[in-house]
Amino acid sequence: MLNLSKIKHKDSKNFLLMAGPCAIEGEDIALRIAEKVVKIADKLAIPYIFKGSFKKANRSRIDSFTGIGDEKALKILEKIGKQFDVPTVTDIHESTDAAMAAAYVDVLQIPAFLCRQTDLLLAAAETGKYVNVKKGQFLSASSMKFAVDKIKENGNNNVILTDRGNTFGYQDLIVDYRGIPEMKSFNVPVVMDCTHSLQQPNQTTGITGGKPALIETIAKAAIAVGADGLFIETHDDIKNAKSDAANMLELNLLEDLLVKLIRVREAIL
């Protein structure tokens, strides 16, 4: 289990859960979602990290929602961490983001498209925080060893790798589950992103599509092949979500899904 001081249920045999809205849309919404997921995680004894992007830098259209302001969003993440006593994770996109975000959150996440950006990885490593690197859609699992090496060779052994599918044509992704044991061989925790792996990018509207009905399928398969954790974007008002609404999980479906996944986990241990 991760060596995070705030993570609860670390002695549980359950998988790690990173979950929350795609983006921090406002304090009330973020606190409401955090409270509901924390209650579920505590009830099921699942180690939990709240997820929320403080800004969205990779958008198809110029009019897409990108955030409510960096400092404002980061302060909300900090408040969630303190109020619910849970670790928090957010994406960073530039080297200058690393130290800024590290002052508010416990885990820095490297977006998939940026997983080869050496300066970004090194800046994240230098904060001493856990660094969750999303596997690029364009990379093999074996090539992620070099991302791990960049962080560890900069003096930080706190690395997580997250799979989020491989590019399959122009408008779809596919998950190669061979990648999970491959990345686990690097001696780091491996997480499956169950929602972004179901995106359908590059739509002609400029708005990414998705197949959220398959979240359970992706999650079950990931646990079955030994994933250490799951990454699930969730929202309690998806129709009004400002980012990635097409592939998020309805929050009211989360608990039942996690109960099923715990049974899968128990079956393979």
What are the pLDDT digits (tens) for 71-121?
999 999 999 999 999 999 999 999 999 999 999 999 999 999 999 999 999
Beta bridge partners, 133, equal 110, 161
Q: Please choose, from the candidates 30, 2, 15, the residue with its C-alpha nearest in 3D space to the C-alpha of residue 106.
A: 2
- pLDDT confidence of residue 60: 59
What are the pLDDT digits (tens) for 31-69?
999 999 999 999 999 999 999 999 987 655 666 777 899
Q: Please choose, from the candidates 215, 213, 214, the residue with its C-alpha nearest in 3D space to the C-alpha of residue 258.
A: 215
Q: Which residues contact 157 (CB under 8 A, 6 or more apart)?
A: none
Residue 87 near residue 110 (C-beta atoms within 8 A): no
What are the pLDDT digits (tens) for 111-167?
999 999 999 999 999 999 999 999 999 999 999 999 999 999 999 999 999 999 999
Torsion, CA 50, CA 55, CA 58, CA 63, rounded to 10: 130
- Rg of the chain over all Cα atoms, to the nearest angstrom: 17
- pLDDT confidence of residue 249: 94
Q: Higher pLDDT residue, 79 or 201? A: 79
Give the separation between CA 258 and CA 263, rounded to whole angstroms. 9
Mean pLDDT of the chain: 93
- pLDDT confidence of residue 204: 52
CATH 3.20.20.70 fits 16-268, yes or no: yes
**Helix intervals (H) in 63-214:** 70-84, 95-102, 118-126, 145-152, 179-184
- pLDDT confidence of residue 93: 96
Taking residues 173-190, report their average pLDDT.
Answer: 97
Q: Higher pLDDT residue, 112 or 171? A: 112
Q: Higher pLDDT residue, 258 or 3? A: 258
Give the separation between CA 91 and CA 110, rounded to whole angstroms. 6
Amino acid at 78: E
Residue ranges of E strands in the chain: 16-20, 48-51, 88-91, 107-110, 130-134, 159-163, 166-167, 173-174, 190-193, 199-200, 209-210, 229-235, 249-250
Residue 205 has pLDDT above 80, yes or no: no
DSSP state of 44: H
- CA 166 from chain center: how many Å? 16
- pLDDT confidence of residue 203: 59
Q: Please choose, from the candidates 203, 204, 221, the residue with its C-alpha nearest in 3D space to the C-alpha of residue 165.
A: 221
